[in-house]
Chains A and B, each alone.
Chain A
Amino acid sequence: MPSITFGESTFDTQDDETVLDALLRNGHEIANGCRAGVCQSCLLIAKEVALPANATSGLSDSQKAIGAFKSCCVVPSTDIEVQSADGAIESHKATIVEKTSLNDAVIRVRLQSDVNYRAGQYVSLQNDAKLMRSYSIASVSGTDKYLEFHIRRYPNGQFSNWIYSAASIGSELILQGPSGTCFYTPTDAPSNLLMLASGTGLAPMHGIIRDALLQQHQGNIHLIIAAKTSDDFYYVDELKTLSDENSNFSFERVALQSTDADIKQADIYEHIRSDYTQLKGYRVYICGGENFVKKLKKQCFLAGANMQDIFSDSFLSFTPN
């Protein structure tokens, strides 16, 4: 009988049992529901195996790309190694190689590390004092020789204040991850991408857009960045260069209060509701605060985008204790 390796344990399967049943029989707690391939409660990640199509049907392309599958749908025919859907948490060493201010409140930090990731995923960063926070990666793996993060300074934010003040070039961090399924995957047919970002949601978004362009995405890529005032935007020159160099990429900025003719003064939700009424067949990426993501997810879904084509990453507000 083929064997299953899960974390530290390896055991043989019995008869025709599924991966889920075998894990449960061996005392592992795996969430599950319908056991019929519908509810997606029992997702696991498989390492380097070809999975039958019914084990991944209904999953998004990025879930498929990291090896996610419905464990109730697979009866292994060869040995298989699986891990929980959050992925194995691997630790890497990282060193700060650059710190640059992007605007009054956001700093760009670049790290040297050998972690493998996809642009748009996130990692946890931990400093010497064991303070740990999650940040989205803004760089593109393989192309950029560093990992990039955009860190907003919060008045009481211990980690962000540490980065701003105490951390310096050469400071070491422990990096854990990566995690997340908000990243670009090539599409079979050319599809249009709508990218919505607020605040430092631009970090993962900038990475995802560059990744899509490097992978020669066919179809248009349109980015909308939302902010309160016209002073809140950053990376505008970088984005202008990107749109000059790529005819299928465009971007616009929307602010509640704007003094700049280039920046549309509008409420982002109103703007999207009135100008983006037909999103059938679109892939939508949404990165920003929790409310921003939730509201726009619903709006884009109602405008016709399918849930499995909406990729999002929201920053949970962290209350210091």
Chain B
Amino acid sequence: MSIYEQIGGAGAVDAAVDIFYRKVLVDDRISDFFDTVDMDGQRAKQKAFLTMAFGGPNDYTGKDMREAHKGMNLTEEHFNAVAENLVATLKELNVSEDIINSIVEVCLSVKDDVLNV
């Protein structure tokens, strides 16, 4: 069973998205990237991110990770902030340590692409 199925698939994304998005919006390190007026659109993008991090269907957006984050000048600090908020969200939802580690691994595997290095 994939991690995505283990944590409950689409239902897990639904459970996590509001908690994660709220954390991101109040995190000064990264809130500027996500604080647009279109909250519903932003929330949909947070869901895309979570689906991917949870190892869900990877043809979600059809966008290449490098392409999707091009020109944003993302740094190590931005990446860590996103990862920290994700881990805090998963802890709040009582996701097991093992699964959290696997999810962090997924994120690390696309880190170079996201940071465009």
Contacts and interface: CB of A to CB of B under 8 A. Distances in A.
Interface of A: 33-41, 54, 57-58, 294, 297-298, 301-302, 304, 306-307
Interface stretch (B8-16, B90-98, B99-107): B8-16
Contacts of B33: none
The majority secondary structure among interface residues of chain A is: loop
A302 B37 CA distance: 14
B60 A39 contact: yes
Contacts of B61: 33
A294 B61 CA distance: 26
21 contacts: A33-B48, A33-B60, A36-B51, A37-B10, A38-B10, A38-B13, A38-B47, A39-B51, A54-B10, A57-B11, A58-B10, A58-B13, A297-B39, A298-B39, A301-B21, A301-B22, A301-B25, A302-B26, A306-B18, A307-B21, A307-B39
Contacts of B10: 36-38, 54, 57-58
Contact of A302 (B9, B17, B22, B57): B22
A298 B25 contact: yes
B78 interface: no
A156 to B, nearest CB: 26
A7 B111 CA distance: 46
A35 B44 contact: no
Interface string B45-70: 00110010000110111000000000
The majority secondary structure among interface residues of chain B is: helix
A36 B61 CA distance: 12
Contact of B60 (A34, A294, A301, A307): A34
Q: Which of A34, A57, A302 has the most CB of B within 10 A?
A: A34
Contacts of B40: 307
Interface of B: 9-11, 13-14, 17-18, 21-22, 25-26, 37, 39-40, 43-44, 47-48, 51, 56-57, 59-61
A35 B18 contact: no
B14 A35 contact: no
Nearest to B26: A302
A312 to B, nearest CB: 10
Contacts of B26: 302
A57 B13 CA distance: 11
A34 B18 contact: no
A39 B44 contact: yes
Given A302-B25, A307-B40, 17 more contacts: A33-B61, A34-B56, A34-B57, A35-B59, A37-B10, A38-B14, A38-B48, A39-B44, A39-B60, A40-B44, A57-B14, A294-B37, A301-B21, A301-B22, A301-B25, A301-B39, A307-B18
B51 A34 contact: yes
A277 to B, nearest CB: 13
A302 B31 CA distance: 13
Contact of A36 (B17, B25, B57): B57
